[in-house]
Amino acid sequence: MLNRLRCIPGLLVSENVPLASCTRFAIGGPAWALADASTEAALAAALRVLRASETTYTVIGGGSNLIASDEGFPGVVLRYTNATIEFGPSSEAAKTVRVRAAAGALLQDLVDRAIKAGLAGIETLTGIPGWVGGAIYGNAGAYGHSMHERVIGVRYLNAAHASSGPRALDNVACEFRYRDSVFKREKDWIVLEAELELDRGSAEDLARTAAGIRQIRDEKYPPTMRCAGSIFKNLLLAELPEPVRAQVSAGVIREGKVPAAYFLDQAGAKGLARGGVKVASYHANLIYNEGGGTASDLRKLIAELQRRVAERFGIVLEEEVQHI
């Protein structure tokens, strides 16, 4: 079967690849094979081969929000690596510009190029690691703004019907919600490309805003830190039980959300550790791999944090991370 995959133009296949090398946590055992598709045709062809041969497979992106098993993955890990970013034509009088970004493009590259072109709307996403496909999948966001605000449409491939070719969804059909989208529920749908609409602005002003945000993010989540950023989703104030809402001071609430870190801090999360993974001493919603950490350590620590918050407040914290 691997030989059949290797015959597909635009598909790079490697065997026995440690998933630790594909995730920001730097955790995870070996995958039987890693297959990187650089074109839509290669991705569709690989899916046809995998499904026809009934080979176990999974699809991932940049691995910035991913916990991979210590045992690895007994099949093929497939990635769509096309990193193309294209700016649509526009006149000087146009107030907006359309931008197309392939799923394999680094989100930071998209942000940087938009800022350089004087296009506003995604500058607050600077410093968020990962690929555009993952940012669409999880509706990534920061500082009061999320991807969905700028998405016009998304092209995707249904793995179950790869021969039928790409399909498209408009913004509404993507069913974006806080750190959520239809792609989290439709596991066979693979993001290929997103089209965004950005406003014209001052490149200097946008760069200044992004630099300030980047400084804050880098202090909180140093680029070399082996972590996924926040481990749990923040909570919508309106969805919390009344007794819990009554315990939250107004100064904690941000854009109608209560930071998960607030509840974790109250539950004594800071500094907790299991094996080689630890909760930061300065941020209760940040778990990182100190060195030698395992997925088992990470899962146990996450479970302990959820248990503490549930016992203290009667609420269940939902993970932002995905698992293999």
Closest CA to 213 of 141, 285, 118: 141
The structure tokens listed for 58 are 């999974």
**Amino acid type, 222:** P
pLDDT of residue 91: 57
What's the confidence (pLDDT) of residue 45? Answer: 98
Report the C-alpha gap between 167 and 154 in whole angstroms: 8
Spatial neighbors of 85 by CB under 8 A, at least 6 apart, are 99, 100, 101, 102, 105, 109, 110, 113
Read off the pLDDT of each residue in 292-317 and give the average, rounded to a whole number.
97
Residue 198 banded pLDDT, cuts 50, 70, 90: very high
pLDDT digit string, tens, across residues 266-282: 999 999 999 999 999 99
Going by pLDDT thresholds of 50, 70 and 90, the confidence category of residue 104 is very high
> By CB neighbour count within 10 A (0-12 exposed, 13-18 middle, 19+ buried), where does 271 fall?
exposed
Domain covering 222-323: architecture: Alpha-Beta Complex (3.90)
Q: What is the pLDDT of residue 288?
A: 98
- Second CATH level (architecture) for the domain 2-80: 2-Layer Sandwich (3.30)
For 44, list phi and psi in degrees, rounded to 5.
Answer: -65, -40
Reported pTM: 0.94
Query: What pLDDT sits at residue 94?
Result: 78
Which is it for the CA torsion 267, 281, 297, 126, positive or negative?
A: positive
Per-residue pLDDT at 191: 98
User: Looking at 63-77, 88-102, 129-143, 250-264, which range is the least confident one?
Assistant: 88-102
Cα–Cα separations (whole angstroms), residue 292 to 110, 274, 277, 295: 33, 11, 8, 10
Residue 90 has pLDDT above 80, yes or no: no
Which of 151, 156, 180 has its CA nearest to residue 167? 156
Q: Which residues are catalytic?
A: 179, 230, 320
What is the rounded (10 degree) CA torsion for 198, 204, 210, 211? 170
Q: Take residue 4 and report the two structure tokens written for it.
A: 């059949």
**CA 109 – CA 269 distance, rounded (Å):** 34
**pLDDT attached to residue 2:** 95
Q: Which CATH architecture has domain 85-209?
A: 2-Layer Sandwich (3.30)
Retrieve residue 253's tokens: 């609430």
Q: So where are the chain's domains? A: 2-80, 85-209, 222-323
Q: What share of the chain has pLDDT > 70, as a percent? A: 99
Domains 2-80 and 85-209 share a fold: no
From 234, 297, 228, select the one nearest 264 (Cα to Cα). 234
Written as one letter, the residue type at 276 is G
Nearest to 134 by CA among 168, 108, 152: 108
SS3 9: coil
Mean pLDDT value of segment 104-122: 98
Closest of 252, 260, 257, 255 to residue 233, by C-alpha: 260
Give pLDDT, residue 92: 65
For residue 315, give the DSSP letter: -
- Residue 89 confidence (pLDDT) above 90: no
Per-residue buried b or exposed e for 33-71, using 16+ beta carbons within 10 Å of the residue's own CB:
bbbbbbbbebbbbbbebbeeeebebebbbbbbbbbbbbe
The pLDDT of 70-86, averaged and rounded, is 98
